[in-house]
Structure 1
Amino acid sequence: MTPEQFNPKDYLPQGYYPWPDLINPNIAQMEIDMNNWIDYDYAYLSEQARKKYKKMGLHLCTARMVPKASYEQTIPCSRFVLNFVVMDDQMEFATVEEKKRDCERGIEILKGAEPTPDENGMFQHLALIRNEYKSFMPSEWLERFTENLYRCFRYGVQDETPFKLARRVPALEYFMILREYSVNMYPYLYWADIEAGFVLPKDIEEHPVIQRLRALTSRIEAWQNDFYSLRKELGLDTELMNLILVLQKGQKMSLKEAVMEAKRIHDADVAEFVALHENLPNFGIYQQQVYDYVMSLGIILQGLNTHYIKDTERYLAGGAGFAWPEQRVANEYKK
């Protein structure tokens, strides 16, 4: 298999998963909102970068992940998608210390600190996200959302940085854990509470089966992302934190062998998720609500896969659709 022969839709076609493939009806207004935020609140980015963010269809990502949410509920969700994508992109070549500084500042704001007037739109939006979520979700939910964002920062974004900067892949066994967090999926999983209209009670929230289902959701999304981003990453020696590339380089596989093994890992996680969903433990009076909550996790995965296929230019071959950070070091890495 050559890179040109690889098409992720051959492996994860639309409708691949056993969950509903839905979209929020408010997409027209959501697109207007997204484009306005990009143009005015993220005006510190270059015009070229802003054009690329508009072509990523990030409002449609939100619309597919929370198809049943009200328009008002989609607003902080869409803000968060844009916020986190911009942060992830613009810190692509940052050091651990730089990432730690900005990530910790973001957590401070979500916990109640106010951004200073000179902080850019990314930090200003975090305060809006916090306040908008607080208007319709309980404080306990926001605490869980923020804590899981921190876990992704700490155990994913920061811990993968030395490998990215050194241009080397970690051992497969470690990568499988690291990627679960570096894909930054955990905070998004709390959107399932919004979709289901049900915040899990603490004892259910902490149940090992629920924790495992969240881990599987994050892992499956990581493998999805690795399939769809592979065309962007092939040929760029800075882009190695991808299951297929880790298998290829670390396990000395051909590209075809690595793709098939990644598909096997992905499908095994999906099968475990489905089996757990259909065999939930006894949650008493909350049984149907928990079942619906897990269904919402599945809808998130189905929606993300459709978004990759239909909506975005983010993963064009060679990184042509990616908003690379506009710093000297980025140009050095791309040479």
Structure 2
Amino acid sequence: MRIQEFNPKDYLPQGYYPWPDLINPHIEKMGIDQIHWIDEDYTYLTEKQQKKYKKMRLHCCIARMLPYASLERITPCHRFILFQSVFDDQLEYKTAEEIDVMRHRLVEVFNGSQPESFENGLLRQAYKIGEEFRAFMPTTWVARFIDAFHRVTRYGVVDEAPYKQNKTAMSLIYYLINREYSILMYPYLYMIDIETHFVFPDLLDKHPVIQRLRTLTSRIIGWQNDIQGLSKELTLETEVTNLIVVLQHEYNLSLKEALTEAMKIHDADLAEFTDLASVLPAFGEYKERVERFILGLGLQIQGVNSFYLNDTTRYLPDGSGFAWPEERSLKLKDE
């Protein structure tokens, strides 16, 4: 198989997952808001990049992930998906040390530190996200969300940077761990609480079953991303952090063989998720809350895949829909 013959719909078609395929009714207003935010705070990007982010329609992704959320509650969520996509995209050529400095500052801003006048619009958006969440979510939840952002950035993005810089594929055993974080999903998994108006008490939040379900969700969406974005990523030599590429390097596989193995990994995680969800321990008074949480995880898995298939130019096979880093977009400070 040549990469030109690869079609992700052959591997993850519409209806592949067992959960409802829904979309938030506020999607039109969300799209208008995202364009406004790009015009207002992402002007440090080049004009070409700004146009590409508008065409990506990232708000459609979060609208599918949180189909029941009110406009007020989903607003910081889709503000965050634009923020995190821009932040992550523009790190392609940054060193681990540079990314960690940026991570540290963004965590400060999420926690309420006001952006300085010389800092760019990414920081202003981060500050607004933190303030909007604090307006209706308890302190415990906000701390979990910020910690999730810290973990995916520090243990995912920072730790994968040397591999991109050296153009070296990870070992499979390490990639299976790193991808759980570098896909950047953990902050979104806590957004289910926003939709359900319920924050798990600490003992339930840390329950091994809850933690494992989050892990599996993050991994499954990571494998989705690796399959859906494969053609785009192969246009850039630094993109060695993809399950299919890792499998090819590890076992000297053809593209078709690596895709088959990648789907086996994906399907094994999906089977574990559905099996675990069917044999839950006794959660007592929280039984219905946990079941709704699991539905929320399933809606996110389904929603992200539907976004890839239906809504965005972000993953065009030739990479032309992606906002690759350009010189002006690499700093947290305005010129």
Compute the TM-score of the two structures, normalised by the length of structure 2. 0.96
- Please state how far the C-alpha of 1:236 moved relative to its aligned partner: 2.6
2:325 maps to a residue whose letter is P
Matched with 1:43 is 43
Q: Secondary structure at the match of 2:229?
A: helix
After superposition, residues 125-164 of structure 1 pair within 5 angstroms as 125-164=125-164
Distance 1:310 1:186 in 2: 24
| Corresponding residue of 2:258 | 258
| Identity among equivalent pairs (%) | 53
CA distance in 1, matches of 2:28, 2:313: 19
Report if aligned partners of 1:61, 1:303 keep a CA contact under 8 Å in 2. Answer: yes
Shift, 1:161, TM fit: 0.4
CA distance in 2, matches of 1:222, 1:176: 10
Q: Alignment partner of 2:191: what SS?
A: helix
* In 2, Cα distance between equivalents of 1:90 and 1:328: 10
Looking at structure 1, the residues matched to 161 and 90 of structure 2 have their Cα atoms a distance apart, in angstroms, of 14
**What amino acid does structure 1 have at the position aligned with 2:104?**
E
Aligned counterparts of 2:107 and 2:58: Cα–Cα separation in 1: 22
Contact 1:114 1:127 in 2 (8 A): yes
User: For the Cα contact (< 8 Å) 1:79–1:129, is it kept in 2?
Assistant: yes
Kindly provide the amino acid, as one letter, of the partner of residue 238 in structure 2: T
For 2:220, the equivalent position in structure 1 comes to 220
1:325 CA drift (Å): 1.0
Q: Quote the Cα distance in structure 2 between the aligned partners of 1:282 and 1:254.
A: 46
Alpha-carbon separation, structure 2, partners of 1:260 and 1:328: 40
**Separation of aligned partners in 1, 2:77 and 2:29:** 14
Whole-angstrom CA distance in 2 between matches of 1:88 and 1:53? 13
In angstroms, what is the RMSD of aligned CA positions?
1.3
1:207 is matched by which residue type in structure 2?
H
Structure-1 residue corresponding to 2:52 = 52
- Deviation per CA, 1:128-151, whole angstroms, max 9, x where unpaired? 101111111111001001111111
1:172 to 2:158 alignment: no
Deviations 1:245-297 (A, max 9, x none): 10012211110010000001001100111111111111111101111111101
Alignment of 1:161-310 (within 5 A): 161-310=161-310
Counterpart in the other structure of 2:28: 28
How many pairs were matched up? 330
1:288 aligned partner, one-letter code: E
The equivalent of 1:19 in structure 2 is 19
**Deviations 1:187-230 (CA, angstroms, capped at 9, x unpaired):** 11101112222211111100000000000000001000000110
1:124 aligned residue: 124
Give structure 1 regions of 4+ aligned residues with deviation exceeding 3 angstroms: none
Shift in Å, 1:235: 4.1
Q: TM-score, normalised by structure 1?
A: 0.96
- In the alignment, which residue of structure 1 is the partner of 2:106? 106
Code of the aligned partner of 1:125: Q
Question: Where in structure 2 are there 5+ consecutive unaligned residues?
Answer: 331-335
Give the Cα separation in 2 of the matches to 1:329 and 1:95.
15
What's the secondary structure of 1:318's corresponding residue? coil
- Which runs of 5 or more structure 1 residues have no equivalent in the other structure? 331-335
Kept after mapping to 2: 8 A contact 1:93/1:329:
no
Alpha-carbon separation, structure 2, partners of 1:327 and 1:130: 28
Q: For residue 259 of structure 2, what is the amino acid of its counterpart?
A: V
Residue identity in the other structure for 1:160:
E
1:329 CA drift (Å) = 12
- Once the two structures are TM-superposed, the CA of residue 234 in structure 1 deviates from its matched residue by 2.0
Contact 2:65 2:303 in 1 (8 A): yes
The CA distance in 1 between the partners of 2:242 and 2:37, in whole Å, is: 30
2:283 is matched by which residue type in structure 1?
Answer: F
2:333 aligned partner: none
